[in-house]
Copies of this chain bind each other. A is one copy, B any other.
Amino acid sequence: MRTHYCTDVTEKNIGEAVTVAGWVNSRRDHGGIIFIDLRDRGGIVQLVCDPQDSKEALEIAETVRDEFVLVAQGKVRARGEGLENPNLITGKIEIVVEKLVIENRSKPMPFDLGDEKVNEEIRLRNRFLELRTPKAFNIFKLRSKATIQVRNTLDELGFIDVETPILTKSTPEGARDYLVPSRVHPGEFYALPQSPQLFKQLLMVAGFDKYFQIAKCFRDEDLRADRQPEFTQIDVEMSFCNQEDVIKVAERLIYDVFTACGKEVPSTFPRIRYSEAMEKYGSDKPDLRFDMPMVDVIDIFANSTNEIFSEIAKDKKKNRIKALRCPNGDNIFSKRQMKSFEDYVRKFGAKGLGYFQMKEDGLKGPLTKFFSEADLEEIVKATQLEVGDVVFFGAGDKKTVWDYMGRFRLFLADQMQIIPEDKYEFVWVVDFPMFEVEDGRTKALHHPFTMPKSLDNIEDLEEIESVAYDIVLNGTELGGGSIRIHKEEIQEKVFELMGISKEEANEKFGFLLEALRYGAPSHGGFAMGLDRMVMLLAGTDSIRDVIAFPKTQKAQCLMTQAPSAVDNEQLKELSLRIRQPQA
């Protein structure tokens, strides 16, 4: 129907006859001549309906309203002098309409499409209208471009796109599964996959060698702002490989995708050991767009006459005392602000937050009295303090200190506005622990199919490292992976260390254990969150912006009203009954 998209009509088309189609973005009447900004997915072009050119077109133009659908035929001409609009690609031309057709009418919009402050409920209920802006469209264009690049890069590297089932059995990610009742097998359920983890490992056992999929995954969790019940992941697995091989594929993939989307990124990324990331940044997803590392000062604080500090310093394995230098902080923050920081860290388990100010004549602050001159000098040296700086201290159990000091580091940087917006800082976090012991229960930090570096020494399970790696971008975990266990005996040992009985392992993963007995090759891979990647590429801060029909925090689709009640007949067919809430 159309000959051009609106924004494809430019100076080079002057004098040509064109047909465009789209929505009325706005309409203005100037002395009997009607100007219409016509909008399609790319942007806007100006239509002119002048009775001198077409009386019929003008008459029709008089009846159009915002968001009517038009097809307009006419000649392209240069705008008059001084009438150009430098904000539009098409700002130097206009289309003199010869024929105008109203393809469809529109009621007045329920909200102003351009207004992002409109109540989210109204926007989500009318998502088909909210998406009707070039800004929204451009995000999905970017998403489409990114996914196609993912596929082409992996195809070029010899990976095969294989679809794994959506109706399947519980997967071992540990979150809650969405269940699907079976009609044919009363009382039985499928589970929607939390990831294709086991299937991709089985494809390696099948000898597929290099697999990928852009896979829908599902988790029935209480949603945080940046989570959705269904999400999309780039899923990759390969055989006969080591960590280096996998990282190379992931780096190539990220490089290609970001480059295709017009972002400059390096072709390889630095690496940091998990333990170093925790000690320096208090997080396994450090934001390295700024430095501000934490410094260990437990040895200095051991000499302190403050009993709390010296007590904590007694157990260096269990505890930490960390210093965080805030450059020029004494000049940036008021005393009251610095006090308020303590409230911030208390939310994350801190007992308090000590600090020193670096003045012309040395460290000042109420805590200095507990330290010798020499020790105070040591602190200045260790944290490289300069006059005007402030240094904060966190002390206590190491996991707690890492956590709140890591958060505080981000909080401070944000307050100081030192985090560059347009920078992409990637880092591989490597050498993750295999296990995490919490309340006496041993869990796999990644998942139980991750290859441990060694099981020779199992005295302290938390000391065992695994061949697992995460890719972190600007403090966000973009994805991660591992080399997997391909030997039955190692897999069994790992289950045993986690306290999973043979029966339980067999019931849950029997088919994987069985597969390992029939010539499983060494293999490994990774998964990356596509939604999150697109979010970072698009520079938006809500995952809902990059999902066409997102759900609310209560997992509802306000547009379709899903979930909803169903007929009793349907329940009967599924051999189900609704459990009435207890009074």
Binding site for B on A (CB under 8 A): 1-2, 5, 21-23, 39-41, 67-69, 71, 103-107, 109, 126-129, 131-132, 136-137, 140-141, 143-144, 147-148, 151-152, 155, 160-169, 176-192, 198-199, 202-203, 205-209, 216, 218, 220, 222, 229-230, 232, 239-242, 245, 486-487, 510-511, 514-515, 517-522, 547-549, 551, 554-557, 559-566, 570-579, 581
Contacts and interface: CB of A to CB of B under 8 A. Distances in A.
Contacts of A557: 165, 167-169
A180 B178 contact: yes
A169 B560 contact: yes
A181 B183 contact: no
A179 B180 contact: yes
B578 A517 contact: no
Q: How many copies does the complex hold?
A: 2
B41 A187 contact: no
27 contacts: A1-B245, A21-B239, A21-B521, A41-B207, A41-B208, A67-B519, A104-B519, A104-B521, A128-B202, A128-B518, A129-B518, A140-B162, A148-B151, A148-B155, A152-B152, A163-B216, A165-B230, A166-B192, A168-B549, A168-B562, A179-B574, A182-B555, A184-B554, A186-B581, A216-B216, A511-B561, A572-B579
A68 B511 contact: no
Given A104-B521, A578-B187, A548 B166 contact: no
Contacts of A574: 179
Contact of A209 (B40, B106, B554): B40
A140 B560 contact: no
Contacts of A129: 205-206, 518
B230 A167 contact: yes
A229 B166 CA distance: 10
A517 B107 contact: yes
A129 to B, nearest CB: 6
Contact of A132 (B132, B207, B573): B207
Nearest to A206: B131
A520 B1 contact: no
Contacts of A519: 23, 67-69, 104-106
Nearest to A565: B188
A199 B140 contact: no
Nearest to A108: B518
A169 B208 contact: no
A353 to B, nearest CB: 37
Residue with the highest number of chain B CB atoms closer than 10 Å, among A109, A222, A239: A239
Across the A-B interface, give the 4 residue pairs with the lowest CB-CB distance, nearest first.
A106-B519, A131-B206, A188-B563, A169-B562
Contacts of A155: 144, 148
Given A147-B161, A188-B564, A220-B183, A576 B577 contact: yes
A229 B5 CA distance: 40
B208 A131 contact: yes
B164 A549 contact: yes
A129 B151 CA distance: 26
Contact of A218 (B167, B182, B511, B521): B167
Contact of A562 (B140, B191, B209, B563): B191
Given A190-B562, A199-B548, 10 more contacts: A103-B521, A128-B515, A151-B151, A168-B560, A176-B183, A179-B566, A181-B181, A182-B563, A184-B222, A511-B561
